[in-house]
Amino acid sequence: MAKILRRERLVPNIHMIEVEAPEIARKCQPGQFIIIMVDNFGERIPLTIGDWDVEKGTITSVFLVVGTSTHKLSMLEAGDEVPVFVGPLGRPSKIEKYGTVLLAGGCFGIAAIYPIARALKNAGNKIITVLDVKTNYLLYWEDKLKAVSDKMFISSRDSYYDCKEYIPKTVDSVLHHEGRIDRTIAIGCTYLMYACSEATKPHNIETWVSLNPIMVDGTGMCGACRVTVGGKTRFACVDGPDFDGHLVDWKELFIRRKSYFDDEIKSLCFWEKKNLP
Amino acid sequence: MAEKNKTMPPEMKEKLRSRYNEEWRKKLRKSIPVKERMKISRQKMPERDPFERNQDFFEVNRGLSAKAAVEEAKRCLDCANPQCVMGCPVGIDIPTFIKLIEMEDWVKSARLIKETNALPSVCGRVCPQESQCEAVCNLKRATGTPVAIGNLERFVSDFERDAGQVAVPKLASPTDRKVAVIGAGPAGLTVAGDLALKGHSVTIFEALHVAGGVLVYGIPEFRLPKKILEAEVDYLKSLGVELKTNFVVGLTATIDDLKKEGYDAFFIGTGAGLPNFMRIPGENLVGVYSANEYLTRVNLMRAYDFPTYDTPVFLGKRVAVLGGGNVAMDSVRTAKRLGAELSVCVYRRSRIEMPARVEEVHHAEEEGIEFHFLTAPTRFIGDDKGNLKAMECLRMELGEPDDSGRRRPVPIEGSEFTMEIDMAVVAIGNSSNPLIGQTTPGLEIGKWGNVEVNWDTMATNMKGVYAGGDIIRGGATVILAMGDARIAATEMDKYLRSKMRQTKARPKKKS
């Protein structure tokens, strides 16, 4: 059992949990994820690690409320316990000195790129961060990210921030203005990662994405998370989650992520009927 | 992979002999003439009606009655030279436990088995006895039907548990040595039990949230009820074994980390946790599962009870399971239970080459499972939404024997045909899980990703690190994993005790 130390709504529909997990915190590296099961009836779902504290022995993760598990998770309070919190899973992101690195994040990915930005900054890279939100009140962790970025752009669908565009356009214009980008890393919903990969492709900029297929065990045992990268089947949990965005078979990933669409709705309705007034 | 050439250790021989010569045993042997014993027919395992059981997940076999168990025990000729013991990978003293059943001393019989087998009610259910102990039974040679050793093992261990007679045996005095067992599958549980009995302090690290490995995520409820396994794990805990679930050795901590934390010896029993696929087009379509995923969803995550449990699983109406082993049988029978109208096993060789247990194939047939032998899929076909809708297959014929000694299937040209299916389960085996190899620098890994060991001792090239089960074999059976584990446990005990002597030889700290 792992204890929830804090659960907080950051913005509508996006929550943060801080969980007591000293062993995971000790080993954690940027780009890794955990698998959580909220209760004994729950599903095992992967969540990207947003931050950790070795001294306090805690792991922080940010998630979007979509299905049954994340709904349940969003209703936990400090002191509650979850039966499964296991990690750190997956291969860490490659942290090297690349030069100028563009980090694109949206949704839960804003938190997910934070530890990568911090590590890349410490490795001597110039960090350009592009964050994407639908509208101004959906932005979070702005200060945290600013502190590890040399430049930061925010795109949204209203006129509140720098550009009223979807993120790939912003990425595109940053690429033009900066002159040289050595590497791009994009994390967020599948569409965002796909769109960013498409944006950098004509410029031939290596782009890494953190794939989020459906998983069960997260240690290579089940093969649910298989993705096609460069024509080969890979397991996101043990071969990834980071892959070259220009080689990913995005169409397949979109389809596979929706495998249980109807069941997910059924499950959520079932849970709501039972648990909501 | 090279199998160890088994000879009975002298101390085991000695033990068997002295028990054989005990007075009660001699008397019992004489009480019924051999000829009479040979006339008794093999007691049939009571089974649930096939068309009732293929609708639910309750156990298929009901277990022998006490009366039937005694009758069956009487069939055992109590040979002076019992071949069955040699046929058992963990070397259970089979004649003695059977003769104790004949004496109706159930509990003593169960405890005797536990001296050499930490998971008797599991083995009584899932071991392929017909190719091990029962295959070499002298009664089989004489009459054609061996003693039902597996059914008897199941009977006494179930009796002990159900009667609340499970007791903690006397443990050897504590050695103060710490052992880390990686993986709570059949191999890991066996090592843990053996070493705990020998007085070592044992911690099992398990990546999943439940102990049991393949016994819990793979083997379905209808073959091995979870509560049986839970009881066996509870028994190990009562021996003082500590169980740390949700702990992935290699990631949560490496073997080196654990060494620094004071663990003196390690056993790697992480299993063959990396499903093989066929590498044919369309394998990533929605509706194509690995057997591991399919069974994990249903067994471990209880998707058969969705939406009470959150994890979903496809309820295929026309299901093809690819492969001919026990995992394929488990998958194809599970699909039937989840409402498939057609649940078919597609196997590229013929029936006699099937690695699955005869009993499982027989049960599957009774339940309405169809078999397509000498058939190999060539591609999966999807609809415009990426869902599986059909599978193209090729007919095969058998050619010359291959490395495994089985005749190699050869495609018949132009024999393509299409099967309309909405779900497929790929059950063609597993490769070794790479996590330990990747995170343990210096550990020798073979060309199949398996951990390399000395087959006499199960020792890896790293001092104090042992391995057994599917991580060294690639994909075998529960009992072979347990056999490896017994050898490893004996060797680990020797290693730990030699280390103790070294420590003792050093000048003692003043306290």
Rounded average pLDDT over A98-118: 94
pLDDT band at B495 (very low <50, low <70, confident <90, very high): very high
Please identify among residues 249-268 of chain A the ones whose CB lies closer than 8 Å to any CB of chain B: 251-252, 255-256, 258-260, 263-264, 266-267
Confidence at residue A192, expressed as pLDDT on a 0 to 100 scale:
93
- B45 and A CB contact within 8 Å: no
Q: What is the pLDDT of residues B429-482, one digit of tens each?
A: 988 888 899 899 999 999 888 999 999 999 999 999 999 999 998 878 888 898
Per-residue pLDDT, B403? 83
d(CA B256, CA B155): 43
Cα B349 from Cα B335, distance rounded (Å): 22
pLDDT the model gives residue B505: 55
Helix (H) or strand (E) holding A49, with range, is: strand A45-53
CB contact A214 to B (< 8 Å):
no
Collapsed DSSP state (helix, strand, coil) of residue B128: coil
B281 touches chain A (CB under 8 A): no
Nearest to A41 among B217, B283, B309 (CB): B309
Dist. CA B478–CA B125, nearest whole Å:
11
| Residue A23 to chain B, least CA–CA distance (Å) | 6
**Of the candidates B472, B353, B328, B476, the residue with the CA atom closest to the CA atom of residue B405:** B353
Nearest to B310 among A41, A251, A259 (CB): A41
How many secondary structure helices (H) and strands (E) does chain B include? 21, 16
pLDDT at residue B255, rounded to an integer: 95
Alpha carbon A79 to chain centroid, angstroms: 25
Which ipTM did the prediction report? 0.94
pLDDT range class, residue B3, cuts 50, 70, 90: very low
Strands, sheet with A151-156, edge to edge from the N-terminal-most edge strand: A151-156, A126-133, A100-106, A183-187, A207-210, A242-244
pLDDT-derived band at B1, boundaries 50, 70, 90: very low
Chains A and B form CB pairs within 8 A to the count of 117
Helices (H), B198-290: 214-217, 226-238, 255-260
8 A C-beta contact, residue B431 and residue B474: yes
pLDDT at A32 over 80: yes
Where is pLDDT greater, at B402 or B289?
B289
- pLDDT tens digit string along B233-291? 999 999 999 999 999 999 999 999 999 999 999 999 999 888 999 999 999 999 999 99
Query: For tokens 């397949």, what's the residue?
Result: A252
pLDDT band at A179 (very low <50, low <70, confident <90, very high): confident
In this predicted structure, the answer to whether residue B511 has a pLDDT above a threshold of 70 is no
Residue type, B16: L
Q: What residues of A are in contact with residue B205 (Cβ under 8 Å)? A: none
CB B196 within 8 A of CB B236: yes
pLDDT confidence of residue B172:
87
Question: What integer is the mean pLDDT of A205-230?
Answer: 94
**Whole-angstrom Cα distance, residue B139 to residue B145?**
7
Helices (H), B10-62: 10-20, 23-31, 34-39, 50-53
Q: What is the pLDDT of residues B46-101, one digit of tens each?
A: 999 999 999 999 999 999 999 999 999 999 999 988 999 999 888 899 999 999 99
| Omega before B186 within 30 of 0, i.e. cis | no
Interface of B with A in 462-501 (CB under 8 A): none
CB atoms within 10 A of CB B63: 18
Give the 3-state secondary structure of residue A230. Answer: coil
Q: Is B115 exposed, middle or buried (0-12, 13-18, 19+ CB in 10 A)?
A: middle
If one counts every other C-beta atom within 10 angstroms of the C-beta of residue A274, the result is: 9
Say yes or no: B58 contacts chain A, CB-CB below 8 A: no
pLDDT at B504: 58
> What percentage of chain B carries pLDDT values higher than 90?
79
Q: Which two tokens stand for residue B389?
A: 């809708």
Query: In chain B, positions 227-246, which contact chain A (CB-CB < 8 Å)?
Result: 246
- In angstroms, the CA A107 to CA A50 distance is 12
Q: Is the pLDDT of residue B2 over 80?
A: no
- pLDDT tops 80 at residue B500: no
Optimal mutation site among A49, A221, A261, interface B, most CBs of chain B within 10 A: A221
CA distance A142 to chain B (A): 30
CA distance B6 to B86: 8
Res B507: pLDDT: 53
Average pLDDT, chain B: 92
* pTM (predicted TM-score): 0.92
Q: What percent of chain A has pLDDT over 70?
A: 100
Summarize the confidence of residues B354-368 as an average pLDDT: 93
- Between strands A183-187 and B407-411, the pairing is unpaired
| Confidence band, pLDDT 50/70/90 cuts, at residue A275 | confident
Residue B1 tokens read as 């992979």
For all residues of chain A together, what is the average pLDDT?
93
Percent composition of chain A: helix, strand, coil (DSSP 3-state, to 5): 30, 30, 35
Identify the band that residue B503 occupies on the pLDDT scale cut at 50, 70 and 90. Answer: low
The answer to whether the CB atoms of B217 and A221 lie below 8 A apart is yes
What's the pLDDT tens digit per position in B117-150? 888 999 999 888 988 899 999 999 889 999 999 9
